[in-house]
Amino acid sequence: MPQSENKKAGPHGATRILVDYFCFTVSFDEFMDYPDKDKLSVYVPERIEKKFFLSGLEFQERRGMYGYNCSRWYDGIVYAYGGNNTIYIQMSGTGCRTWETIHPGLTWEKWIQYLQTTYATLHISRLDIACDTFGKLKLKTVQAYTRAGKYISRWKTFLIQEGSAEMAVIWGSSKSDFRLRIYDKTLEREVKGSVDADKVPRDWVRCEFQLRNDAAASFIRNWQVNGSIGATFMGIMRNQLLYVSQYDGKNRDRATVAPWWDRLLGDAVQIRMAYDAGKDYNFDSLKRYIFHQAGSSIKAYLAIMDGDFTPLLQGVRMAALNDRQTELIRSAQEQRREWQAKQIEYN
């Protein structure tokens, strides 16, 4: 698959990073402008498929979902509209592979950047990033270390699943915007009874970030800064979870990382998630306010000014920042300096 990253060649000891779930919404008003309301039922699907590069696929009508009146499905890709002022696009793991097949020259980086620059109201509600390992991890070892408390984790909760149908360790609450699931992918495929069961790779363990809303936006920002989905995944993993062979319970920097976990992380530089789930105000809430609440006022102002940004920028420069905004700027600048310093040290 051209859009995944293989860190090491060969069937054993290899890792592969890929996008495995992607959901987003954009405002219906942002690209719909059709005077003949009687023909909207035909026009809307054509417009959606054209704008999101889905034309030519044999979509099937489905019942409405998540409060939307209409939805259409094709091989893991679903879009929904009607009854809501947004359009919803969902790509499951199968849908992500379908997307890669029909757009072999369009990387996920370029696709997401296109959406960001084209739609001011874009909101990415879910992004799953999977790291497939083949022979690098043993699920029983991960479970044993977790059970024994031999870890340093920024997640407060975990769940160990052990049985004939599923083997996994899940970090983070089911209500959290950021979870990690480490599970036996070989077992999952065998239980599902794949038609190519004899071709299912052995020792296939998947580590998967399940990111929603601000957490998804944070991962994407880090990805765009360092230019590598693999480095971003491993850097955030190094920050979020360490399995250790020695740890005094106080000094993280002095802990001895378990060799098998250290081999997985490689030389990745630690990356902090650039958001705080416990804070109500962060960069993404700021962005949502600008585009969702103030966006129409800004648009009206620019229309009145015939598109001249100069008076708007002059007015913005004179605006006073409140304490939350000042702290947000300070935090963002500090994170940027930390990242740059680590890059210099690494290089």
The tens digit of pLDDT for each residue in 40-97 reads: 556 789 889 999 999 999 999 999 899 999 999 999 999 999 888 899 999 999 999 9
Same domain, 265 and 342: no
State whether 280 and 212 are in the same domain: yes
Q: Both 93 and 33 in a single domain?
A: yes
| Whether residue 16 sits in one domain with residue 162 | yes
Name the domain boundary from 268, 290, 312: 290
Rounded to an integer, the average pLDDT of 143-168 is: 94
Region 139-165: what's the mean pLDDT? Answer: 94
Q: Which of 244, 272, 290 is the last residue of a domain?
A: 290
Task: Check pLDDT > 70 for residue 36.
Answer: no
pLDDT digits (tens, 9 = 90+) for 186-232: 988 888 775 566 678 888 999 999 999 989 999 999 999 888 999 99
Quote the mean pLDDT of the chain. 85
Element spanning 55, H or E: none
Percent above pLDDT 70 for the chain: 83
pLDDT mean over 239-250: 91
281 & 311 share domain:
no
Q: How many other C-beta atoms can be found within 10 angstroms of the C-beta atom of residue 146?
A: 20
Neighbour-count burial of 209, counting CB atoms closer than 10 A to its CB (0-12 exposed, 13-18 middle, 19+ buried):
buried
Mean pLDDT of 302-315: 84
Say yes or no: 187 and 329 in one domain.
no
Domain containing 160: what range?
5-290
Contact 70, 82 (CB under 8 A): yes
Greater pLDDT, 189 or 29: 189
331 in the same domain as 218 = no
If asked whether residues 229 and 83 sit together in one domain, one would say yes
Do 33 and 162 belong to one domain? yes
Cα–Cα distance between 174 and 172 in angstroms, integer?
7
Strand order of the sheet with strand 256-257? 151-153, 241-246, 256-257
312 and 283 in a single domain? The answer is no
Query: Same structural domain for residues 96 and 126?
Result: yes
- Same domain for 250 and 302, yes or no, is no
At 192 the pLDDT is: 78
Please provide the DSSP assignment of 64-98 as one string.
--TT-SEEEEETTEEEEESSSSEEEEEE-HHHHHH
- Whether 306 has a pLDDT exceeding 60, the answer reads yes
Closest CA to 23 of 83, 96, 114, 84: 96
Is 167's pLDDT higher than 90? yes
pLDDT band at 9 (very low <50, low <70, confident <90, very high): very low
Q: Domain tally for the chain?
A: 2
339: pLDDT confidence band, cut at 50, 70 and 90? low
pLDDT at 132: 96
User: By three-state DSSP, how is residue 59 classified?
Assistant: coil
**Considering 275, 290, 305, which residue would you say is the last residue of a domain?**
290
Find where tokens 């210099």 sit. 344
**pLDDT tens-digit series, residues 258-294:** 999 999 999 999 998 865 444 555 676 677 677 766 7
Closest among 50, 91, 89 to 71, alpha carbons compared? 89
